[in-house]
Amino acid sequence: MTDTAAEDRGLPSGTAARAARLASLPLGFAGRTMSGWGRRLTGQQAEEINAEMAGRMAEQLFQVLGTLKGGAMKFGQALSVFEAAIPDEYSAPYREALTKLQSSAPPMPAKQTHRVLDEQLGSAWRTRFREFDDEPAASASIGQVHHAVWHDGREVAVKVQYPGADEALRSDLRQLMRFSRLFQALAPGTEVKPLLAELSDRMNEELDYRGEASYQRAFATEFDGDPQFVVPKVVASSPKVVVSEWVTGTPFASIIANGDTASRNQAGRLLLEFHYSSPERVRLLHSDPHPGNFMLRDDGKLCVIDFGAVARLPRGIPRGLGQITRLALDGKQEELMAVLREHRFVKDGTGVKAEDAVAYLAPFTEPLAHETFTFSRDWLQRQATRVGDVGSKDFRTGRLLNLPAEYLLIHRTTAGNTGILCQLGAEVAVREIADRWIPGFTD
């Protein structure tokens, strides 16, 4: 790959430049943390310092990740969901910029798009389409989407992978693996290397669009004709191109910005229902939670796209997750600790106390304690402040708890969808959905 070619695609020139930008993140975070401690010594309020640090860290992440593609930008997209956790007085200057990471990135030139199509669909690829729009309709971390008309008259979306995306992604993953000691220091009780390895495996899978097409076909088959959900059918696929039915609807980003209460509540309810029902119905979990992947159609159905990140759950949601949630909700300390140890959330010798574990987890179960619950930025900000205050007991407890690798994508997806719910400000009957779809929650 030449530097000129990389620049033509909107990629930074050379892996050294990517590494340097990524390396600036932990250094910046460390500097901000030390600065926060210093200001706390001078008497500034902890809440004010935590909010300002969260805002500045998110701003730095956007500035770095927003200029990259590959794995780095995927982390930026994940971050964009959690802007709801940042207090309004600090998030306003860059909230719109973070949202852009959900569905846009610098496009590649048409000639390079055609080159990929030549390689993947054959030199006569144009005969397979009645029309093909060279201007991308959307672009993201490792590919961009074009609107086209298939030879049989169907409108289709053509997802084309950026040349060199595999090199950029793997370079980012190698760099992130080098940060494992830093992550271990921030969360000493967590099995950091297995977590990063699991994340690396899933992100590497996204480079072969045939896997994505296979997952999408499974979802489309299960939800075909469903009264609540729509998944576009796959028309054709290859390692770096996937063609699927074109779908339209109101993007979640628009509902977040301008939607009425009914639309917000409908979007939130359907998102949560899809999230918890899919492992039971398809034995798969859509694991790329950001508003760019969800649309609300005029008929009230939820349309879901982009199945590059999917967790395989052959036995559905682990029963232990439902048991932990229920026991934390009910405040049953000893039973909770037994299940946490059984599923390796608490490792031997960490010294986690039962009452501290309940105190840490119970606020997260608040949406399940009511007939309906209104997710809000304020609620998420309180949770972020509670577990992020370095001087609090909850912060210390969180550092001692472990996240087993097999729960990584479930946890990440649940957290991401919670961020979307809080951006929507949706009122949802969470308890009813949990009763129906989460094993171990009710029995």
The pLDDT tens digits of the residues spanning 324-354 come to 999 999 999 999 999 999 999 998 888 889 9
pLDDT one-digit tens code per residue, 94-146: 455 555 554 445 678 899 999 999 999 999 999 999 999 999 998 766 889 99
Residue 173 is predicted with a pLDDT of: 66
User: φ, ψ for residue 75 (rounded to 5)?
Assistant: -65, -35
d(CA 251, CA 249): 6
Residue 197 is predicted with a pLDDT of: 67
For CA atoms 217, 219, 222, 225, the dihedral sign is: negative
42 vs 224, residue with greater confidence = 224
Say whether both 87 and 135 belong to one domain: no
Residue 17 is predicted with a pLDDT of: 53
d(CA 391, CA 51): 14
Say whether both 59 and 116 belong to one domain: no
DSSP 122: -
The domain boundary residue, chosen from 246, 262, 293: 246
Say whether both 207 and 275 belong to one domain: no
d(CA 272, CA 254): 18
Confidence of residue 25 (pLDDT cuts 50, 70, 90): very low
| Residue 113 neighbours by CB distance under 10 Å | 22
CA nearest neighbour of 378 among 19, 85, 138: 85
DSSP 139: E
Residue 13 is predicted with a pLDDT of: 43
Residue 193 is predicted with a pLDDT of: 63
Say whether both 330 and 307 belong to one domain: yes
d(CA 109, CA 86): 36
- As for how many domains the chain has, the answer is 3
CA–CA distances in Å: residue 21 to residues 17, 200, 215, 381: 6, 19, 33, 28
Comparing 120-124, 370-374, 408-412, the range with the smallest average pLDDT is 408-412
Across the chain, mean pLDDT equals: 79
Residue 106 is predicted with a pLDDT of: 64
pLDDT one-digit tens code per residue, 78-107: 444 455 555 555 555 445 555 555 444 567
Residue 4 is predicted with a pLDDT of: 37
Residue 10 is predicted with a pLDDT of: 42
Say whether both 59 and 167 belong to one domain: no
pLDDT one-digit tens code per residue, 204-217: 777 889 999 999 99
Radius of gyration of the chain (CA): 22
* pLDDT (mean) for 278-298: 94
* pLDDT (mean) for 34-52: 44
Say whether both 367 and 307 belong to one domain: yes
Most confident of 70-84, 153-167, 200-214, 403-417: 153-167
- Find where tokens 């609540």 sit: 228
* pLDDT (mean) for 231-246: 97
Say whether both 238 and 279 belong to one domain: no
Residue 386 is predicted with a pLDDT of: 86
Say whether both 121 and 64 belong to one domain: no
Full residue range of the structural domain in which residue 133 is found = 106-139+142-246
148 vs 60, residue with greater confidence = 148
Contact 288, 415 (CB under 8 A): no
Confidence of residue 74 (pLDDT cuts 50, 70, 90): low
Say whether both 127 and 38 belong to one domain: no
DSSP lists the bridge partners of residue 127 as none
Say whether both 90 and 119 belong to one domain: no
The domain boundary residue, chosen from 100, 128, 154: 100
Say whether both 253 and 163 belong to one domain: no
Residue 391 is predicted with a pLDDT of: 83
Say whether both 288 and 178 belong to one domain: no
The domain boundary residue, chosen from 196, 219, 246: 246
* pLDDT (mean) for 240-251: 96
Residue 202 is predicted with a pLDDT of: 66
Name the strand (E) or helix (H) holding 116: helix 110-121
430 vs 189, residue with greater confidence = 430
Is 404's pLDDT higher than 80? yes
Percent of the chain surpassing pLDDT 90: 50
Residue 56 is predicted with a pLDDT of: 53
